[in-house]
Amino acid sequence: MATRIDLHAHTTASDGTCTPPELVRAAVEAKLDVLAITDHDTTAGWAAATAALPAGLTLVRGAELSCRWYGGQPSIPLHLLGYLFDPDEPELAAELARVRQARTVRGERTVALLRADGIDVSWPDIQARAAGGTVGRPHIAQALIRAGLVRTTTEAFAPRWLGERYRLPKDDIDVFHAVRLIRAAGGVAVFAHPRASRRGRIVPDSLIAELAVAGLAGLEADHQDHSPAERVHVRALAAELGLLVTGSSDFHGTHKTVALGAHTTAPEAYQRIVAAAGAATPVVSG
Angle subtended at Cα 283 by Cα 282 and Cα 284, rounded to the nearest 5 degrees: 110
Percent of the chain whose pLDDT exceeds 70: 99
Mean of pLDDT over the chain: 95
Provide the number of structural domains found in the chain. Answer: 1
Which residues touch 10 (CB under 8 Å, ≥6 apart)? 16, 37, 38, 39, 40, 64, 250, 251, 252, 253
Confidence of residue 271 (pLDDT cuts 50, 70, 90): very high
Instruction: Note whether residue 40 is domain-resident.
Output: yes
Instruction: Specify if 185 maps to a domain.
Output: yes
Confirm whether 52 is domain-assigned.
yes
* Cα 242 from chain centroid (whole Å): 23
In a domain, 19, yes or no: yes
Does the residue 142 lie in any domain? no
- Would you say residue 126 has pLDDT above 70? yes
CATH number for the domain that contains residue 82: 3.20.20.140
Domain membership of residue 204 as a residue range = 5-103+174-284
- Sorting pLDDT into bands at 50, 70 and 90, what band is 286? low
Q: Is residue 156 part of a domain?
A: no
**Contact between 30 and 260 (Cβ < 8 Å):** yes
241 residue type, one letter: L
pLDDT band at 72 (very low <50, low <70, confident <90, very high): confident
Q: Is 62 within a domain?
A: yes
Please, are residues 189 and 178 in contact by the beta-carbon 8 Å criterion? yes
Q: What share of the chain is helix, strand, coil (3-state, %, to 5)?
A: 40, 15, 45
Q: What is the reported pLDDT for 73?
A: 84
163 in a structural domain? no
Note the pLDDT tens digit of each residue in 90-99: 999 999 999 9
Cα R_g (the chain), whole angstroms: 18
